[in-house]
Chains A and B, each alone.
Chain A
Amino acid sequence: MFGDEDKKARVRKANTVSVKSFLRNIILLIAGIALAFGLTDLAIFEDKPLLLVFSDFSINAAAGAALILSIAIVYRQKLGGLHGKTYAAFAIGLGLWFAAELIQTYYEVGVDDEVPYPSMADALWLAGYGPFGYHLFATYRFFNKSARPHGLVIVVATTAAIFGLFVPITVLSSSLLSDDLLELIVNVMYPSLDAALIVPAIMTFSILRKGRLTVIPWVLLSASILIIAAADSAFGYIAATNPDSEIWGFGVFYLAGYLCMGGALYCHNRFLIFSKARAVKIWQEENR
């Protein structure tokens, strides 16, 4: 009798999420892939066409994997409730960004002409911020009652300070170097929209950071937005201040950003959507 209970308790314990080890493993995996990507970039740095193909296809693969995970979540989660709506929006955002990545790859690898800027890819990237913003703001609004007001002030002030530096420099540099108003608007929109995503992401993370099932997805999601925002700002700044320079090395940041998004989606899919098959498996282990 007691033996059965002990066995059940052992099986339950084995199936309980070990946050630290799981987070460590997933971060090590993402860091490992990003490191391998960075080292390969360095190794083939001299061969620019190959570097371009490798870099673009790796980023497309990471974005595609994240998109597949998000579609799987929408399929399993359906559209009901907060998670149903927010993850559907997330999938739409990822779909737009994946399409933008494909178009960019087509411009860079498929045709030899100079890549236009702003292009159709930029339109899709910028459109993708809408659904991502909905995902983050709706989730933050739901958990907002638990937020401490001074935390919001700190995050908003820090974000405004960091991106407040980039936007004027980008605007000033772009306006000096180009007469194209559209180019100027696009240059400003990237860091501004990134900043708009960072605030709800970090605020939601601050609310859910102590939760066993919520800490990993929100660490990874916040990290992905921060990495992509940092890369966008730095890329935009260099492009605006040195328009004739060839910019390399940012691929690793976008790859890491998509991998973090994929990791966050995997964790949601694994722990916050009921799996009958997993439940049956654990029940069978308990009652073997």
Chain B
Amino acid sequence: MISGFHSHCLTVYSISHDSYWLVCSFEYNKTTKAKIALNRHVTVIGDLATITGKVLSSLGEPTMHALFWELNSQGVTTNPEEFDIRKFDEEMKKIFGDGANVFMEEIFSQFRVMYEQRYGDQGPVLASDEENLAPVEKIQKILSIRVTS
């Protein structure tokens, strides 16, 4: 803990003792918050990928695997570490046409429930003017503004 703490305070040795602790504390909090946000982002992306798989499985397991294969062959990975919802949305539109909206709506709906259960104490998930956005935009809003902030 201490070594980690000091590793973020290399630039403060020349200042006074009190200021040293103050600046170190500030640096430590900032870095840890960024790490927590990053970890949370990775976890949430993983959850989003899991929800996506669950929604696609509503068509049946063999169809879900066929879709994963098709998505993968078009360069869209569904691995939780690399999952990109925007690329997924674009490719699903190519596969299902307007029918892709059904999946995106359901993914957003389940993602919202999951997010509210986990981070609901931080206020509303979306602002009122954001409710009319496309599902992929709403998911992106949550990911970029809420989760990483």
Q: Count the A-B residue pairs with Cβ separation under 8 angstroms: how many?
A: 88
Interface window among B19-27, B91-99, B114-122: B91-99
Nearest CB of A to B134, in Å = 12
A81 & B96 in contact (Cβ 8 Å cutoff): no
* Mask of A79-95 contacts with B, CB within 8 angstroms, 1/0: 01111100000000000
The number of residues on chain B lying at the interface, defined by a beta carbon within 8 Å of a beta carbon of chain A, is: 27
Q: In this complex, what residue of B is CB-closest to A278?
A: B69
Q: Does B60 contact A (CB under 8 A)?
A: yes
Chain A positions 1-58 with a Cβ under 8 Å from a chain B Cβ: 12, 15-16
A81 & B59 in contact (Cβ 8 Å cutoff): yes
B98 & A81 in contact (Cβ 8 Å cutoff): no
Given the known interface contacts A81-B61, A82-B60, the answer about A274 and B66 at a Cβ–Cβ threshold of 8 Å is yes
The number of residues on chain A lying at the interface, defined by a beta carbon within 8 Å of a beta carbon of chain B, is: 32
Complex: A254 Cα to B31 Cα, angstroms: 71
Main secondary structure on B side of the interface with A: helix
Which of B59, B63, B69, B101 has the most CB atoms of chain A within a 10 A radius of its CB?
A: B63
Q: Which residues of A contact B65 (CB under 8 A)?
A: 274
B66 & A271 in contact (Cβ 8 Å cutoff): yes
Question: Of A208, A214, A273, which contacts B66 at CB under 8 A?
Answer: A273
20 pairs from A and B in contact (CB 8 Å cutoff): A12-B73, A15-B73, A16-B74, A78-B62, A80-B60, A83-B59, A84-B60, A145-B101, A145-B102, A146-B98, A207-B98, A209-B97, A213-B96, A214-B95, A271-B70, A272-B66, A273-B66, A274-B66, A275-B66, A282-B73
Question: Which 5 pairs, one residue from A and one from B, show the smallest C-beta to C-beta distance?
Answer: A81-B60, A210-B97, A274-B65, A211-B97, A274-B66
Given A81-B60, A83-B60, A207-B98, 14 additional A-B pairs, CB 8 A: A16-B74, A78-B61, A80-B60, A81-B64, A83-B59, A83-B62, A207-B99, A211-B95, A211-B100, A212-B95, A213-B70, A214-B97, A273-B63, A279-B69
